[in-house]
Amino acid sequence: MSCIHPTAIIHDSAQLGENVQIGAFSIVGPDVEIGDGCVLMEHVHVNCNTIMGRENTIHPFTALGGEPQDRKFHGERTVLRLGDRNDIREHVTMHRGTGNGGGETVIGSDCLVMVGSHVAHDCIIGDHVTIANQVMLAGHVIMGDGSAIGGGAGVHHYATIGRLAFVGGMARVARDVPPFVIVEGHPAEVRAVNTIGLVRAGVDGNDIDQLKACFKRLFRDAAPAKDRLPDLRAAHTDTPIVLELCDAIEAAGDGTHGRAREAVRRDDRWSRTR
Protein backbone atom coordinates (compact mmCIF):
# COMPACT_ATOMS: atom_id res chain seq x y z
CA MET A 1 0.00 0.00 0.00
CA SER A 2 1.38 3.39 -1.01
CA CYS A 3 1.90 6.20 1.52
CA ILE A 4 1.39 9.72 0.15
CA HIS A 5 1.78 12.72 2.44
CA PRO A 6 -1.28 15.00 2.28
CA THR A 7 0.85 17.99 1.24
CA ALA A 8 2.30 16.18 -1.78
CA ILE A 9 0.97 17.17 -5.21
CA ILE A 10 0.47 14.31 -7.69
CA HIS A 11 -0.63 15.05 -11.26
CA ASP A 12 -3.66 13.11 -12.45
CA SER A 13 -1.67 11.55 -15.31
CA ALA A 14 1.11 10.24 -13.05
CA GLN A 15 1.26 6.48 -12.54
CA LEU A 16 2.38 5.13 -9.18
CA GLY A 17 3.31 1.51 -8.49
CA GLU A 18 2.73 -0.49 -5.33
CA ASN A 19 4.19 0.53 -1.95
CA VAL A 20 5.36 3.94 -3.15
CA GLN A 21 6.17 6.53 -0.48
CA ILE A 22 5.99 10.25 -1.26
CA GLY A 23 6.96 12.74 1.42
CA ALA A 24 5.79 16.18 2.42
CA PHE A 25 5.67 18.95 -0.20
CA SER A 26 6.91 16.73 -3.00
CA ILE A 27 5.57 17.24 -6.53
CA VAL A 28 5.05 14.57 -9.17
CA GLY A 29 4.24 16.10 -12.55
CA PRO A 30 2.47 14.91 -15.70
CA ASP A 31 3.37 11.70 -17.52
CA VAL A 32 5.56 10.44 -14.70
CA GLU A 33 5.80 6.72 -13.91
CA ILE A 34 7.11 5.64 -10.51
CA GLY A 35 7.78 1.94 -10.00
CA ASP A 36 7.00 -0.31 -7.05
CA GLY A 37 8.71 0.41 -3.76
CA CYS A 38 10.15 3.81 -4.68
CA VAL A 39 10.65 6.38 -1.93
CA LEU A 40 10.45 10.10 -2.67
CA MET A 41 11.37 11.98 0.48
CA GLU A 42 10.14 15.48 1.30
CA HIS A 43 10.57 18.35 -1.17
CA VAL A 44 11.32 16.17 -4.20
CA HIS A 45 10.26 17.49 -7.61
CA VAL A 46 9.76 15.07 -10.48
CA ASN A 47 8.92 17.46 -13.29
CA CYS A 48 7.41 15.46 -16.16
CA ASN A 49 8.07 12.67 -18.68
CA THR A 50 10.12 10.69 -16.17
CA ILE A 51 10.02 6.90 -16.00
CA MET A 52 11.36 5.38 -12.81
CA GLY A 53 11.91 1.69 -12.10
CA ARG A 54 11.60 -0.14 -8.78
CA GLU A 55 12.93 0.66 -5.32
CA ASN A 56 14.62 3.95 -6.08
CA THR A 57 15.25 6.32 -3.17
CA ILE A 58 15.13 10.04 -3.96
CA HIS A 59 16.35 12.36 -1.21
CA PRO A 60 15.11 15.89 -0.37
CA PHE A 61 15.42 18.82 -2.78
CA THR A 62 16.21 16.66 -5.78
CA ALA A 63 14.84 17.79 -9.15
CA LEU A 64 14.31 15.15 -11.83
CA GLY A 65 13.01 15.45 -15.38
CA GLY A 66 13.51 19.17 -15.90
CA GLU A 67 13.89 20.72 -19.32
CA PRO A 68 17.39 20.39 -20.80
CA GLN A 69 19.70 23.39 -20.66
CA ASP A 70 20.32 23.38 -24.40
CA ARG A 71 19.50 26.13 -26.89
CA LYS A 72 18.73 23.49 -29.52
CA PHE A 73 15.82 22.19 -27.41
CA HIS A 74 12.50 23.45 -28.75
CA GLY A 75 9.98 21.75 -26.48
CA GLU A 76 9.94 18.35 -28.18
CA ARG A 77 8.79 15.44 -26.03
CA THR A 78 11.78 13.82 -24.39
CA VAL A 79 12.21 11.66 -21.31
CA LEU A 80 14.36 10.81 -18.31
CA ARG A 81 14.59 7.08 -17.50
CA LEU A 82 15.85 5.57 -14.27
CA GLY A 83 16.37 1.87 -13.63
CA ASP A 84 16.01 0.10 -10.28
CA ARG A 85 17.46 0.55 -6.79
CA ASN A 86 19.20 3.85 -7.41
CA ASP A 87 20.08 6.10 -4.47
CA ILE A 88 19.78 9.75 -5.56
CA ARG A 89 20.94 12.11 -2.84
CA GLU A 90 20.05 15.68 -1.90
CA HIS A 91 20.04 18.52 -4.44
CA VAL A 92 20.80 16.29 -7.44
CA THR A 93 19.47 17.51 -10.80
CA MET A 94 18.82 15.28 -13.81
CA HIS A 95 17.39 16.68 -17.04
CA ARG A 96 15.44 15.08 -19.86
CA GLY A 97 17.05 14.43 -23.25
CA THR A 98 16.83 16.46 -26.43
CA GLY A 99 15.63 15.62 -29.91
CA ASN A 100 19.14 16.28 -31.16
CA GLY A 101 20.58 13.73 -28.73
CA GLY A 102 18.13 10.86 -29.17
CA GLY A 103 15.44 12.09 -26.80
CA GLU A 104 16.46 10.27 -23.61
CA THR A 105 18.61 10.73 -20.56
CA VAL A 106 19.16 7.26 -19.09
CA ILE A 107 20.27 6.19 -15.62
CA GLY A 108 20.89 2.48 -15.11
CA SER A 109 20.33 0.45 -11.94
CA ASP A 110 22.10 0.29 -8.57
CA CYS A 111 23.73 3.70 -8.98
CA LEU A 112 24.69 6.11 -6.20
CA VAL A 113 24.52 9.80 -7.16
CA MET A 114 25.73 11.98 -4.30
CA VAL A 115 24.81 15.46 -3.11
CA GLY A 116 24.56 18.31 -5.58
CA SER A 117 25.58 16.47 -8.73
CA HIS A 118 24.17 17.32 -12.15
CA VAL A 119 23.37 14.87 -14.96
CA ALA A 120 22.67 16.85 -18.11
CA HIS A 121 20.54 16.05 -21.14
CA ASP A 122 21.17 12.90 -23.20
CA CYS A 123 23.64 11.37 -20.75
CA ILE A 124 23.70 7.58 -20.53
CA ILE A 125 24.76 6.23 -17.15
CA GLY A 126 25.34 2.49 -16.80
CA ASP A 127 24.70 0.14 -13.86
CA HIS A 128 26.57 0.24 -10.53
CA VAL A 129 27.93 3.73 -11.24
CA THR A 130 29.07 6.02 -8.40
CA ILE A 131 28.96 9.80 -8.88
CA ALA A 132 30.34 11.76 -5.91
CA ASN A 133 29.34 15.18 -4.59
CA GLN A 134 29.11 18.19 -6.92
CA VAL A 135 30.05 16.32 -10.08
CA MET A 136 29.10 18.08 -13.32
CA LEU A 137 28.25 15.92 -16.32
CA ALA A 138 27.69 17.91 -19.50
CA GLY A 139 25.28 16.76 -22.19
CA HIS A 140 25.73 13.49 -24.10
CA VAL A 141 28.21 12.00 -21.61
CA ILE A 142 28.40 8.20 -21.27
CA MET A 143 29.53 6.47 -18.08
CA GLY A 144 30.12 2.73 -18.43
CA ASP A 145 29.02 0.07 -15.96
CA GLY A 146 30.86 0.16 -12.66
CA SER A 147 32.63 3.44 -13.36
CA ALA A 148 33.05 6.07 -10.65
CA ILE A 149 33.86 9.76 -10.50
CA GLY A 150 35.19 11.74 -7.55
CA GLY A 151 33.77 14.92 -6.06
CA GLY A 152 33.79 18.19 -7.96
CA ALA A 153 34.91 16.70 -11.28
CA GLY A 154 33.66 18.15 -14.55
CA VAL A 155 33.11 16.11 -17.72
CA HIS A 156 33.02 17.68 -21.20
CA HIS A 157 30.02 17.03 -23.41
CA TYR A 158 30.22 13.91 -25.62
CA ALA A 159 32.98 12.42 -23.47
CA THR A 160 32.87 8.72 -22.58
CA ILE A 161 34.05 7.29 -19.27
CA GLY A 162 34.79 3.62 -19.84
CA ARG A 163 33.63 0.60 -17.90
CA LEU A 164 35.16 0.23 -14.42
CA ALA A 165 37.18 3.43 -14.85
CA PHE A 166 37.76 5.86 -11.99
CA VAL A 167 37.97 9.64 -12.33
CA GLY A 168 39.67 11.45 -9.45
CA GLY A 169 38.06 14.34 -7.62
CA MET A 170 38.26 17.84 -9.12
CA ALA A 171 39.45 16.44 -12.46
CA ARG A 172 38.66 18.19 -15.74
CA VAL A 173 37.72 15.45 -18.20
CA ALA A 174 37.89 16.77 -21.76
CA ARG A 175 38.68 13.48 -23.52
CA ASP A 176 37.40 9.92 -23.35
CA VAL A 177 38.53 7.91 -20.34
CA PRO A 178 39.56 4.37 -21.33
CA PRO A 179 37.95 1.50 -19.42
CA PHE A 180 39.70 -0.02 -16.39
CA VAL A 181 42.01 2.93 -15.64
CA ILE A 182 42.35 5.78 -13.16
CA VAL A 183 42.52 9.34 -14.46
CA GLU A 184 43.29 12.43 -12.39
CA GLY A 185 44.32 16.03 -12.84
CA HIS A 186 43.50 19.22 -14.71
CA PRO A 187 43.29 18.24 -17.48
CA ALA A 188 42.78 14.61 -16.53
CA GLU A 189 45.54 12.16 -17.47
CA VAL A 190 45.72 8.38 -17.20
CA ARG A 191 47.63 7.42 -14.06
CA ALA A 192 47.19 3.68 -13.38
CA VAL A 193 45.06 0.60 -13.77
CA ASN A 194 41.99 0.75 -11.50
CA THR A 195 43.02 -2.38 -9.62
CA ILE A 196 40.72 -1.83 -6.64
CA GLY A 197 37.69 -1.32 -8.85
CA LEU A 198 38.52 -4.37 -10.93
CA VAL A 199 38.95 -6.59 -7.85
CA ARG A 200 35.68 -5.35 -6.35
CA ALA A 201 33.93 -6.12 -9.62
CA GLY A 202 35.21 -9.69 -9.55
CA VAL A 203 37.53 -9.42 -12.56
CA ASP A 204 39.86 -12.42 -12.83
CA GLY A 205 43.33 -11.83 -11.39
CA ASN A 206 45.06 -13.00 -14.57
CA ASP A 207 43.06 -10.47 -16.60
CA ILE A 208 44.14 -7.72 -14.21
CA ASP A 209 47.78 -8.75 -14.63
CA GLN A 210 47.37 -8.64 -18.41
CA LEU A 211 45.88 -5.15 -18.18
CA LYS A 212 48.80 -3.95 -16.06
CA ALA A 213 51.30 -5.26 -18.60
CA CYS A 214 49.42 -3.58 -21.44
CA PHE A 215 49.13 -0.36 -19.45
CA LYS A 216 52.92 -0.06 -19.30
CA ARG A 217 53.19 -0.39 -23.06
CA LEU A 218 50.30 1.95 -23.80
CA PHE A 219 50.90 4.80 -21.36
CA ARG A 220 54.52 4.64 -20.21
CA ASP A 221 56.40 3.99 -23.43
CA ALA A 222 57.41 6.96 -25.56
CA ALA A 223 55.44 5.93 -28.66
CA PRO A 224 51.79 7.05 -28.96
CA ALA A 225 49.37 4.55 -27.44
CA LYS A 226 47.53 4.11 -30.73
CA ASP A 227 50.69 2.84 -32.42
CA ARG A 228 50.88 -0.02 -29.93
CA LEU A 229 47.37 -1.36 -30.54
CA PRO A 230 48.03 -3.80 -33.43
CA ASP A 231 50.73 -5.63 -31.48
CA LEU A 232 48.64 -5.76 -28.33
CA ARG A 233 45.60 -7.10 -30.16
CA ALA A 234 47.71 -9.81 -31.81
CA ALA A 235 49.23 -10.83 -28.48
CA HIS A 236 45.91 -10.91 -26.57
CA THR A 237 43.37 -12.37 -28.97
CA ASP A 238 42.00 -14.52 -26.15
CA THR A 239 41.78 -11.72 -23.56
CA PRO A 240 38.53 -9.78 -24.18
CA ILE A 241 39.24 -7.21 -21.48
CA VAL A 242 42.47 -6.15 -23.23
CA LEU A 243 40.70 -5.98 -26.59
CA GLU A 244 38.00 -3.78 -25.01
CA LEU A 245 40.69 -1.39 -23.78
CA CYS A 246 42.30 -1.30 -27.24
CA ASP A 247 38.97 -0.65 -28.95
CA ALA A 248 38.21 2.30 -26.66
CA ILE A 249 41.63 3.89 -27.23
CA GLU A 250 41.28 3.51 -30.98
CA ALA A 251 37.75 4.98 -31.00
CA ALA A 252 38.87 8.00 -28.99
CA GLY A 253 41.78 8.55 -31.37
CA ASP A 254 39.44 8.48 -34.34
CA GLY A 255 37.09 11.02 -32.74
CA THR A 256 37.41 14.77 -32.35
CA HIS A 257 39.65 16.13 -29.58
CA GLY A 258 39.88 12.62 -28.11
CA ARG A 259 36.12 12.11 -27.86
CA ALA A 260 34.82 9.24 -29.98
CA ARG A 261 31.19 10.35 -29.90
CA GLU A 262 32.01 13.78 -31.34
CA ALA A 263 32.44 12.02 -34.69
CA VAL A 264 28.78 10.97 -34.73
CA ARG A 265 27.09 14.02 -33.20
CA ARG A 266 24.04 15.16 -35.14
CA ASP A 267 24.32 18.93 -34.86
CA ASP A 268 26.70 21.51 -36.25
CA ARG A 269 29.09 22.31 -33.39
CA TRP A 270 29.69 25.75 -34.88
CA SER A 271 26.01 26.64 -34.87
CA ARG A 272 25.04 29.79 -33.01
CA THR A 273 22.17 27.88 -31.34
CA ARG A 274 24.42 25.69 -29.20
Catalytic residue chosen out of the listed positions 122, 146, 197, 236: 122
* Active-site annotation holds for 122: yes
Residue 180: exposed, middle, or buried by beta-carbon count in 10 A (0-12, 13-18, 19+)? Answer: buried
Name the CATH superfamily, with its identifier, for domain 3-194.
Hexapeptide repeat proteins (2.160.10.10)
Look at residue 1 in the predicted model and tell me its pLDDT: 80
The pTM score is 0.96
Residue 194: exposed, middle, or buried by beta-carbon count in 10 A (0-12, 13-18, 19+)? Answer: buried
Catalytic residue chosen out of the listed positions 37, 139, 197, 255: 139
pLDDT band at 221 (very low <50, low <70, confident <90, very high): confident
Distance in angstroms (rounded) separating the CA atoms of residues 148 and 168 = 9
Look at residue 220 in the predicted model and tell me its pLDDT: 82
Look at residue 272 in the predicted model and tell me its pLDDT: 56
* Active-site annotation holds for 59: no
Look at residue 274 in the predicted model and tell me its pLDDT: 47
* Active-site annotation holds for 185: no
Mean of per-residue pLDDT scores for the chain: 95
Look at residue 273 in the predicted model and tell me its pLDDT: 53
